[in-house]
Structure 1
């Protein structure tokens, strides 16, 4: 249970950081989650459509449209036509969003990276395996 409590504490702290970032930048916490999903999709090579984003955030079509409109007005996201299927719209994170994120989260990311550098490769692999398993368990609970 000690690990569960530590994970909860880390989650709460990251959530508080996300809320502070949102407040400083005139965003809703859902906006921040949307940006995270879009950045993760870009990193993984996943095409991010409004429908895909809505499923990730569990928003209906109207809520997703309002979210994307808001992020687009703020210059954080843009809609692009899919080159392979012109009927499909893809969402792209603007450089401004990335810069805002790094300006705020960069110091904590640097500290986490520095902390990880103090561990051996096999220790980090164990942590990675553990966190991946926890992630999968929580994702399964979301689909219930």
Structure 2
């Protein structure tokens, strides 16, 4: 099997960039249709991902994850709470600690918009074998880590 070369690799990178733009637009449509700011959607996703991982987030941890200052985080949580999307809850183990939880109604609202897209992704992934899915997961995990580190250091001299 021959090496596909940098053109094929760049084609995949460009497809990933195009997918990122489309996913951002999809998320923005959800936000607009539901009277939300795009940061509200990012906050809900962050909170749901944390819950799925078995982690409870305080407002401070949420703000850090979103790159918000304390005042911005308070305004965000207040806005989401007023809209019925989240609630503040006392931590079961440390009653002094207040966490932010996503309300079930917000989850249902999200599924009504994102569910068909998620179903399509699952359908597409089912066409790959376990080894291919592991490669896809590895690539996406590596890209997420790279993006989280502001893309890391460039490995070339100039734009491509």
Q: Which TM class, normalised by the smaller chain length?
A: over 0.9
| Displacement after TM superposition at 1:83 (Å) | 1.6
Runs of 5+ unmatched residues, structure 2: 1-9, 154-160
- Contact 2:86/2:103, CA 8 A, preserved across alignment: yes
- Within the alignment, does 1:43 sit opposite 2:52 as a pair? yes
Q: TM-score under structure 1 normalisation?
A: 0.96
Aligned match of 1:81:
90
Asked which structure has the greater CA Rg, the reply is 2
Q: Write the distance in 2 (CA, Å) between the matches of 1:91 and 1:18.
A: 21
SS at match of 1:141: coil
Among candidates 82, 92, 101, match of residue 92 of structure 1:
101
Q: Write the distance in 2 (CA, Å) between the matches of 1:90 and 1:61.
A: 15
Cα-to-partner distance string for 1:26-51 (whole Å, 9 max, x where unaligned) = 00000000000000000011221000
Structure 1 stretches (4+) deviating beyond 4 angstroms?
none
Aligned match of 1:60:
69
SS at match of 2:57: coil
Q: Write the distance in 2 (CA, Å) between the matches of 1:72 and 1:108.
A: 26
Q: TM-score under structure 2 normalisation?
A: 0.87
- Within the alignment, does 1:21 sit opposite 2:30 as a pair? yes
Between Structure 1 and Structure 2, how many residues are aligned? Answer: 144
Q: Which has the higher helix share?
A: 1
Q: Write the distance in 2 (CA, Å) between the matches of 1:33 and 1:2.
A: 28
Q: Write the distance in 1 (CA, Å) between the matches of 2:151 and 2:82.
A: 30
- Within the alignment, does 1:4 sit opposite 2:13 as a pair? yes
